[in-house]
């Protein structure tokens, strides 16, 4: 299966989780993966077959919500065919609160069909050696779980 991964991940935790989930969904059916890092630029209009691919949306949790800047990066995106959306929030192991609810509303407003959602703890952006918060995460166990989540999403889409 081919999917499209869109992620906003300033400190890189979400990028690792997004990659593991996409590995689980795609299962090496293709020798390349479609992904777009939105750290420095907004998404632009996607064309052709990409418009029908399942899209993995990965965002960090800021103050219990989807960050405004992530909304800005994804703002122009539209689905014309109700394509499946996989919603992913990464958080610094405090709480993910309303972030997935925000993301769900955001993608529904843009025509996507959310079919799965997951929250994954990652090292907190404010973690230091003196005050570590989820330091070193995602670790191998986290990444295996993310890949397994992707595999279950794949099964659901193929069912
Ligand atoms: C401004 C700001 C607010 C944050 N708020 C939360 C929060 O409410 N709950 C939480 O668990 N982590 C919070 N975090 C931690 C991030 O969600 C966490 O570090 C996440 O893994 C960052 O994703 P990234 O590595 O993909 O950039 C916050 C981080 C920042 C910078």
Q: How would you class 149 by CB atoms within 10 Å of its CB: exposed for 0-12, middle for 13-18, buried for 19 or more?
A: buried
Q: Whose CA is nearest to atom 22 of ligand 1?
A: 60
- For the chain, 159 residues long, give each residue's pLDDT as a single digit of tens: 999 999 999 999 999 999 999 999 999 888 888 898 999 888 876 556 677 899 999 999 999 999 999 999 999 999 988 999 999 999 999 999 999 999 999 999 999 999 999 999 999 999 999 999 999 999 999 999 999 999 999 999 999
**Closest protein CA for atom 30 of ligand 1:** 62
- Per the CB < 8 A criterion, the answer to whether 142 and 17 are in contact is yes
Structural domain of 140:
4-158
Is residue 49 helix, strand or coil?
helix
- 136 CB near ligand 1 (under 6 Å): no
CA of 62 to the centre of ligand 1 (A): 5
Query: Is the CB of 37 within 6 Å of ligand 1?
Result: no
**CATH code assigned at 147:** 3.40.50.360
Q: Is the CB of 124 under 6 A from ligand 1?
A: yes
Tokens of 40: 């420095």
Question: What is the Cα–Cα distance from 152 to 157, expressed in whole angstroms?
Answer: 9
The domain total for the chain is: 1
């Amino acid at each position: 299966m081919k999917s499209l991964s869109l992620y906003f991940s300033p400190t890189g935790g979400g990028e690792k989780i997004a990659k593991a989930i996409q590995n689980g969904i795609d299962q090496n059916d293709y020798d390349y993966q479609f992904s777009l890092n939105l750290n420095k630029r907004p998404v632009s209009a996607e064309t052709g077959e990409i418009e029908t691919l399942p899209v993995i949306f990965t965002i960090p949790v800021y103050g219990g919500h989807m960050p405004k800047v992530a909304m800005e990066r994804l703002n122009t995106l539209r689905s014309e065919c109700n394509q499946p959306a996989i919603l992913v929030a990464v958080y610094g192991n405090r709480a993910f609160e309303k972030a997935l609810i925000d993301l769900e509303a955001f993608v529904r407003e843009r025509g996507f069909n959310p079919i799965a959602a997951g929250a994954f703890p990652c090292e907190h952006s404010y973690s230091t050696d003196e005050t570590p918060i989820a330091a070193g995460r995602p670790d191998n166990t986290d990444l295996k779980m993310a890949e397994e989540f992707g595999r279950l999403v794949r099964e659901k889409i193929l069912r």
